[in-house]
Amino acid sequence: MHWRPLCLLVLGLFPSFAQTTSPHEQFDEELVVKSFQDGRVASTFTFKTLLTDASPRDPRTLALEDDEPQHYTLFPLTLGQLLRQYAITELHLTLNAGKWKYDSWGYPEAAGVGTGAELYAWLADGAPSSIDERWQGLRNALAGLFCASLGSLDEQRTTSPHLSFPPEGLLPDWDGLQHEIRHASHASEHVCTENLTPFLKLLPCKSLSGLASLLNPHRMFDADWHGIGLHVLWRPEGVEVRLNFQMVSDPLRPSGKKQDWSFRSLYDRSVDRACPVAKTSRTIVTLPDAVYSITPEPSAIESGKALYDLKNKSPNESFDMKLEWGSDFVYPQASLTSPLVPFTVQRKLHGPTQDRGQLALVLKNHEPHAIRVSYLETMPWLLQFYLHTIRIEVDGTRRDDLISNISYVLPVPHSRPATFHCILTLPGHSTVTYTIDVTKAFLMYTEHPPDAQRGWDLPPAVFVLLASSSEEGYTRSMGGVQEGSRVYTPSLLVDLATPDFSMPYNVIIFTCSVVAFIFGSIFNLLTRKFVVVRLDG
Amino acid sequence: MDRLRRIIRPGGDANLVRIRRRKAVVSAISQRIKLIRLLLPVLGCIWLLALPSPRLGRNIYIDENALQPGNVNTYWSWGDVHNSDRYLEDLERLRDSNATNEQRAQYLSTEFRKIGMFSSTQNYHFTGTSQDINGTNTYAVLSSPRAPGVEAIIISASWVSRINDGNGTLNLRGVATVLGLANFLKQYSLWAKDLIFVINDGYLDGMQAWLSAYHGSVQSNLEVERLEISSGVVWTALNIDYPGHSFSHLGVFYEGLNGRLPNQDLMNSFHVICSRMGIPVVLYDHLDPRTYPDRRNELDWLPEWMPSALRDDSEVRAYAYNARNIRRHLAHQASGRGSGVHGLFHQFRIDAFTVFALPATGPHGFHALGRVVESTLRTANNLLERLHASFFFYIMTAPNRFLKIGNFLPSAILISVGLMFGGLKGWVDSGWILEHPDSTVKSESDAPKWTRRSRPVIRTLCIMTATHLLGVAMYLLMSSRWYTESSIGLPFVLAIVSVFAFGVSAIRSKGNREGEAPLSSVLKALNQCFASTIISATTVLNFSLAVALAVSLDLPLSISAASNSLSLRALKFSPYLLLSLGWTLALERLSWNWEFLGVWLFPFLCIVYFPLVLQAGIVCLL
């Protein structure tokens, strides 16, 4: 029982310490909990560190000796070093597992929900090393930092889709230096505890106190959907680092009767101590429409949302909250007819053969009026498009006029992916089918991965809802949808022609025999001398 | 030592010796060609008959280590059995109230949604020459947590059971099992692959429509609704057929369309799981008479008059049991239709088989079936990659024994090689003629002399091409609506074929030149060579069909020969006509399979088999 006075001492010291030694740094944390119509509960943890009055490094100074000291208290040092070394203006990294169901969950709090790893960064040119070299350094450094296979986001996966991934913050003006984007995604990357530990290390309070103490890997990685995100961007106030963790858990999974949840049931933890260095520490719970009871009493209720401030929590008691419904849960019968998003997308790869196929999209516009969406495919060269076979149909009639602004960067086999971007117009209350024929690549045998052969994961396509051209000033209020929100389709799995590597000896014996047979016959024919032989002689 | 070396390698020119040796071998073969020609098919037939022997083949084993069958605890409990019973009550009520397809599908879809799954229905409409088929499928997708949903497993049940080949018995308990499983499997977060539950209307037609829509390859005579919910690449599928009240054994049906087979590892895993749980497994619905001595008369096909010493011999009984299984396999595979709903999956590279709950008064029910299916799904869930390891060529002789490809393939190949030897001999014979020297003129040598003569190859090939074109025409005719509706279809075809055959023979009698080989011998030679090639190529595509072809073609093609009198020729021709068109008795079924399922046996019979036999018939007429 000696630790308690010590702890109190530290707790007492911390606020003053934080305020005195880091006047340029500010740390805020927030947890948003929301129940969906299918009974699942989404928790979004956001940890924001702001380095005020700082700005990204000018890439031209990379040629000079870096003598600027990097003293941070709250801002993660490892990340700061990395950003300085490669002069990164803006950086977004997400590692997700699962499939985000826009139909029943609506848009996520943090937009990057593509399956697997996705990394994109905005960098300016002008450094002694090229953008691509710095991009390579960045992803290798991040791979080390996050224990993820980001090193595999190489030039075979790197594209520059600047239209679908505009900078979230501002790009500094360095005498007109051009900024460029580098984007790569790897759908088969899994996220697990080895990625969460380095994530927690970037937080000032680690997982010892504050909201981050709820991040219990046993529960996080059992959730239906979970993902971590790292976002670095520049605003006039300074450089902002935003770390977030999103998860969608299913309180109905064990019992199947009631959708009640509490911190204990969702995370198997409660908040014992507030993070002393956090300026704000809030929990926001979206309240349901039905009869419910919420404990403890929220500090404020604003437009259907209960707010809790953990900074006001008494230091002795742990904070746990509970939301209970008055009645048993019943699954909505018409889950598909009342979607939360203006349009839904289904993407499939058809064709059972190993050399050809067809990529098919089915887009459904739930709005009464036409909407425009931008459609981006960053396709590895494993799948190659035949653009002349694009076919767009609305309810069975061909409507090729619905596609516009096509831009296409050809893939280069064995080195570069294709980037296909276009704008699709979806007529009101309609189902648009889009098909394009594809050919599947034939790999060199060294390009086959050495592990189990389940096929190749193709990255998700990205859709962005654009401002409607027909109706000026149209904004959507439902579900907090903003124009410009990205929608990720699920990833795809493609089967390429693969030798049965599990039988290497048979394969070797067969091929060697064939080669030997052909060589032997031809060699024999070329070198043989034909003469008449008298048998009786 | 030296002597030994001299025998192996006699002195003199090495090339000379080699050529001499080769000549000796060739002449040894060609002198005994008739014997070899006779021996090869006999050997092949003996091999075929030896296939059921318990001494051939080996016990099954698990090749893919990742499967780990039966290594998990199962949680399917009596509460889940109760759920399935409740679903069954609802389904029986629907059956008794003569609910329409749509009402049924609506009920199923609602139940799936109550569980919390995405579910939808799909209407389909097949247009056929003789009949149209409508129906409504229901399906639901359980998205696996944490996984991107790019891989999937299908659990299906058809509304109509496979009993009597989908002829009316309803598979209510199978459907109830699927619903109960959906309710149960959702409670676990361990699924790495999406689970798709499909309840297809009808027997084969519904699943064909659903699978075509899922894979985006819809045939021209099918109108099908687009699937509202999709999932990833399907690797494995399990079809549940439980028509009775209870069951005693679980039967495995595995033959697919056009002779495709699923990866054997899947069925082996199922066998291992069942034996760990103490549930007996059989092949098809064949109970082993050795385990049921009191039901021997009903189960055993060995005739009563056999000496009891032989009839009760354990090896003979094992042979009889295996033979029954192999015969069933050959029938299912050769027909190309497969042995159930699972067969439709194989065309999309999905390994699938049917679990058939053998109707009996007991002792097993939902509880046993649920546990077995749960464990099998867990096994399929373990897979990191598609099942491969070339475990696709096999014949199951018993639930736990199988024949490897090396054990059965040579039987058909031997017969086809025999046919090829016959053809090659005919080819040589038609090109050479043995001339006996004129005895009146004394020449230097009295030995008979081989002289060459030309072969009418072009004309022969023309006749062969014409027969195949006739086959194409016949295929078009038989798949037309007129043929199925008119009563004179078959006589019309017979007349056309006869006119064609006699027409060919009339033409040839004009065109035969002096000093040329007779057309009939060249035609016979090429016919045999072609048939042999077809049989050999078919062995790896559809072994059973190759066996059927080998057995039915070998003798007729070998004994066809021309004769002098016209009546004798016509008499000889008629059995060939019968043989070539005998299959039209089953035309309705064959063309149904082709139209709705894409089983290529019907066009194959028209375009390949019928012309081959007709060519042999024409040989008799020439």
State how far the Cα of B278 lies from the Cα of B272, in Å rounded to an integer. Answer: 10
- Show residues of chain A in contact with B195, CB under 8 Å: none
Which amino acid, residue A384? Q
Estimate to the nearest angstrom the gap between the alpha carbon of A205 and the chain centroid.
25
Q: Name the burial class of residue B494, with classes exposed (0-12), middle (13-18) and buried (19+) by CB atoms within 10 angstroms of its CB.
A: middle
CA B529: distance to chain centroid?
24
Q: Is A467 on the interface with B (CB under 8 A)?
A: no
DSSP state of B593: I
Distance from B9 to chain A by nearest Cα, in Å? 17
The whole-angstrom separation of Cα A335 and Cα B371 is 31
DSSP codes of every residue in B424-460 = HHHHHHHHEEEEPPPSSS--S--S-EEEE-B--HHHH
* Cross-chain residue pair A503–B390, CB shorter than 8 Å: yes
Is the Cβ pair B385, A535 closer than 8 Å? Answer: no
Residue B484 touches partner A, C-beta closer than 8 Å: no
Q: Do A500 and B389 touch (CB under 8 A)?
A: yes
Show the CA angle centred on residue B423, arms to residues B417 and B429, nearest 5°.
135
Query: Number of Cβ pairs closer than 8 Å across A and B?
Result: 116
Q: Are the CB atoms for B358 and B250 separated by under 8 Å?
A: yes
Chain A nearest-CA residue for B22? A535
CA within 13 Å, CB half, B202? 19
Give the per-residue pLDDT at A382. 92
CB distance A98–B145 less than 8 Å? yes
- Chain A residues touching B146 at Cβ < 8 A: 97-98, 221, 223-226
Chain A residue nearest residue B14, CA to CA: A533
Contact at CB, A333 and B20, closer than 8 angstroms = no
* CA atoms of A502 and A519, how far apart (whole Å): 27
The number of residues in chain B equals 622
Is A246 touching B (CB cutoff 8 A)?
no
Cβ contact B216–A252 (<8 Å): no
- Determine the Cα–Cα distance for residues A503 and B392; give it in Å rounded to an integer: 14
Asked if B212 is an interface residue toward chain A (Cβ–Cβ < 8 A), one would say: no
Å between A115 CA and nearest CA of chain B: 6
DSSP type of residue A60: G
| Residue A131 exposure: Cα atoms within 13 Å on the Cβ side | 19
pLDDT of residue A12: 40
Global pTM value = 0.90
Residue with tokens 């397809």: B101
In the predicted structure, residue B620 carries a pLDDT above the cut 90: no
List of chain B residues whose C-beta atoms are within 8 Å of the C-beta of residue A352: 215, 217, 347-349
pLDDT at A14: 42
Chain A closest-CA separation from residue B553 CA (Å): 32
Q: Determine contact: B27 vs chain A, CB below 8 A.
A: no
Nearest CA in chain A to B63: A502
327-346 in chain A: CB under 8 A from chain B: 330-333, 335-336, 346
Specify whether the CB–CB gap between A254 and A310 falls below 8 A: no
Say if the Cβ atoms of B145 and A358 lie within 8 Å: no
Distance of CA A60 to the CA centre of its chain: 30
Residues of B in contact with A36 (CB under 8 A): none
A429 closest CA partner among A344, A313, A348: A344
CB contact under 8 A, B189 and A454: no
Tell me if B150 and A491 make a contact (CB, 8 A cut-off): yes
Interchain proximity B16–A358, CB inside 8 Å: no
Residues in B touching A358 (Cβ below 8 Å): 216
pLDDT of A16 reads: 39
Cα torsion at B329, B330, B336, B340 (round to 10°)?
-20
- Measured between alpha carbons, how far is B184 from B191 in angstroms, rounded to an integer? 12
Tokens of A228: 């971590």
Instruction: Say if the Cβ atoms of A535 and B386 lie within 8 Å.
Output: no
Q: What are phi and psi of A51, to 5 degrees?
A: -100, 100
**Comparing B44-58, B103-117, B511-525, which segment has the lowest mean pLDDT?**
B511-525
pLDDT at residue B440, rounded to an integer: 58
Query: Would you tell me which residues 358-397 of chain A have a C-beta closer than 8 angstroms to some C-beta of chain B?
Result: 358, 360, 362
Q: Do A97 and B147 touch (CB under 8 A)?
A: yes
B219 to chain A, any CB pair closer than 8 A? The answer is no
A527 is written with which tokens? 């070198």
State the burial class of residue B307 (Cβ atoms within 10 Å of its Cβ: 0-12, 13-18, 19+). exposed
Q: What is the pLDDT along chain A (537 residues), one digit of tens a residue?
A: 444 444 444 444 444 343 444 568 899 999 999 998 888 999 999 999 999 888 888 888 888 877 777 888 889 999 999 999 999 999 999 999 999 998 888 899 888 899 999 999 999 988 888 999 999 999 999 999 999 989 888 888 999 998 889 899 899 888 888 899 999 999 988 888 899 999 999 999 988 888 999 999 998 998 999 999 999 999 988 999 999 999 999 988 876 788 899 999 999 999 988 888 999 999 999 998 888 899 888 889 988 899 999 888 877 888 899 999 988 888 887 654 567 888 999 999 998 788 899 999 999 998 888 999 999 999 999 999 999 999 999 988 999 899 999 999 999 999 999 999 999 999 988 999 999 999 999 988 788 877 767 888 999 999 998 876 444 444 443 334 456 688 999 999 998 888 776 666 677 778 888 999 999 999 988 998 888 877 764
Whole-number pLDDT of residue A10: 42
Q: Note whether B146 contacts A500, CB cutoff 8 Å.
A: no
A491 contacts in chain B (CB < 8 Å):
148, 150
3-state DSSP of A512-525: HHHHHHHHHHHHHH
**Residue B79 touches chain A, beta carbons under 8 Å:** no
The residue among B233, B263, B386 with the most chain A CBs within 10 A of its CB, best to mutate, is B233
For residue B409, name the pLDDT band (cuts at 50, 70, 90). Answer: very high
B439-486 confidence digits (pLDDT tens): 555 555 566 777 888 888 888 999 999 999 999 999 999 888 888 787
List CB contacts (< 8 A) between B152 and chain A. none
CB A238 within 8 A of CB A249: no
Chain A closest-CA separation from residue B265 CA (Å): 14
Q: Indicate if the alpha-carbon torsion angle B518, B523, B528, B529 is positive or negative.
A: positive
Tokens read off for B179: 């619903």
Tell me if chain A has a CB within 8 Å of the CB of B431.
no
List chain B residues with CB under 8 Å of A393: none
E strands, A138-291, are: 179-186, 225-235, 238-249, 261-262, 280-286
Residue B22 touches chain A, beta carbons under 8 Å: no
Specify the pLDDT at position A327.
87
Q: Rounded to whole angstroms, how far apart are CA atoms B400 and B365?
A: 23
pLDDT in tens, B423-432: 999 998 888 8
Model confidence over B178-226: pLDDT tens digits?
A: 999 999 999 888 999 999 999 999 899 999 999 999 998 888 999 999 8
Q: Do A115 and B23 touch (CB under 8 A)?
A: no
Run of H or E residues at A418:
strand A418-426
A438 touches B: beta carbon within 8 Å:
no
The C-alpha atoms of residue A481 and residue A485 are separated, in whole angstroms, by 7
Kindly report the number of other CB atoms within 10 A of residue A483's CB atom.
Answer: 15
DSSP state of B516: B
Q: Which two tokens stand for residue B604?
A: 């194959």
Min Cα distance A475 → chain B (Å) is: 28
d(CA B592, CA B598): 9
What is the rounded CA–CA span in Å between residue B382 and residue B389?
Answer: 16
Whether the bond between A427 and the residue before it is cis, its omega within 30 degrees of 0, is no
